[in-house]
Structure 1
Amino acid sequence: MESFSTSMDLVQFIGKLGDLKDEHYHLILVQSALIELLIDKGVFSRQELDHKITEVDRLMTGSPYPMA
């Protein structure tokens, strides 16, 4: 790996990736718990959530340029 000047740089980089993985896991865990609580309390249904996820996914994966 030519982009790392020393082996220590590579070790530090790998450590940072591990930290990011742990942080990502905890964020997803909190997000999932909040969604489940909101569904349990009747704020929205699982079907409404699925519909919104599909809608947002379409917006995010579509072309960034409007078609005329």
Structure 2
Amino acid sequence: MESFSTSMDLVQFIGKLGDLKDEHYHLLLVQSALIELMIDKGVFSRQELDRKMAELDRLMAGSPYPMA
């Protein structure tokens, strides 16, 4: 790990990575809870969510640069 000047830099980097992992888990948990609540309350159905996810996935699979 030549890019880290000291062992302490490496320890701090690993700590930050662990914090990001925890934050990512928490955000996904909140997102999942919100989606489930909206489905339970009839805001949208699971099928509508699946269709929208597929639509967005198709859009993201293309080039990130629009072709003129």
Tell whether the structures are fold-level matches, with TM greater than 0.5: yes
Q: What is the match of residue 33 of structure 1?
A: 33
What percentage of aligned pairs have identical amino acids?
90
| Cα separation, 1, equivalents of 2:11 and 2:3 | 13
1:4-43 to 2 correspondences below 5 Å:
4-43=4-43
Gaps of 5+ in 2: none
RMSD over equivalenced CA pairs, Å: 1.2
Cα deviation for residue 63 of structure 1 reads 1.5
- How far, CA to CA, are the matches of 2:24 and 2:66 in structure 1? 33
Structure 2 residue 65 is the aligned partner of structure 1 residue 61: no
Offset from partner CA, 1:15-66 (integer Å, 9 cap, x none): 0000000000000000000000000000000000000001011111212344
- Provide the TM-score with structure 1 as the length reference: 0.93
1:67: how far off? 5.1
